[in-house]
Amino acid sequence: MLENVKALLKFPFKERGWQNHFLLGSALLLANYIIPIIPFIFVLGYVIAIMRRVIQGEEPSLPAWDNLGKIAADGLRGFVAALIYLLPGLVLVIGGYMAYFFTILIQTQTEKFSLAPVLGFAFYFIGLFVGLALLILGSIPLPAALANLAAKGHFGAAFEVTEWWNLIKANPWGYLGAWVITIGLGYVGSWLSLLPYVTVILCCLVPLIWAPIGFYVLVVAGAAFGLFYRESSFSTTEIE
């Protein structure tokens, strides 16, 4: 098991020409700071391409960026699917912020005492608490849904709940392991990205550091959940 994890962590740096593939992905994530969403859609499509190759039995590797139309289409499908899974939580969190903001705004327009800020804070707290809980609940099955989308190649596959739920039930430890790898790398990456904050001058380097770290975490996560899907598919086939 440990050897498998080591191989998974090293695969982005093994293939010939990996530097160009990695640099382009990192540059797209960096561009996301300037032009939101669109560069990330391409990166997500690339991660889905890695998932698909692993699910089909290939060893994890960084493919060439040579079919941008397909990458963009996969990324757009994955992005919309993720947005739908996370939408309830996002609506509550944003709604809570807006309620608090507007009640404070109302209070500033009058000199009389008002319960509006109190109610606004209550809505903010409830929206934040319930919204974050829904975001977590929506995030848990999301990689399995995206893996199913990668395997089948159509948007509706992300919402075949019975399909991906059976895969999770067939290999719960594999799914947990993929999540542990993803969260662990994200945690380490977050700490590394904080290093420039030791001086004010280096703060401007944070995006330059976070972009390659973020790309690395995403491609390893894509391969990890692709392996989970492949192993789970074998398990469900054997059960049948």
Distant-in-sequence, close-in-space partners of 169: CB < 8 Å, separation ≥ 6? none
Given this model, what pLDDT does residue 149 score?
A: 97
Q: Give me the pLDDT at residue 118, please.
A: 75
Supply the pTM of this predicted model.
0.88
Write down the pLDDT at residue 116: 66
Task: Tell me how far apart the alpha carbons of residues 121 and 103 are, in angstroms, rounded to a whole number.
Answer: 8
Strand, coil or helix: what is 51? helix
Q: What is the pLDDT of residues 140-180, one digit of tens each?
A: 999 999 999 999 999 999 999 999 999 999 999 999 999 99
Spans of all domains in the chain: 2-239
Nearest to 25, CA basis, from 54, 51, 62: 62
pLDDT tens, per residue, the chain with 240 residues? 556 788 899 999 988 889 999 999 999 999 998 999 999 999 999 999 999 999 999 999 999 998 899 999 999 999 999 999 999 999 999 988 888 788 777 766 666 656 667 777 888 888 889 999 999 999 999 999 999 999 999 999 999 999 999 999 999 999 999 999 999 999 998 888 777 666 666 667 777 888 999 999 999 999 999 999 999 986 655 444
Give 202's DSSP letter: G
Q: If residue 73 lies in a helix (H) or strand (E), which one and from where to where?
A: helix 68-108
For residue 138, the 8-state DSSP code is H
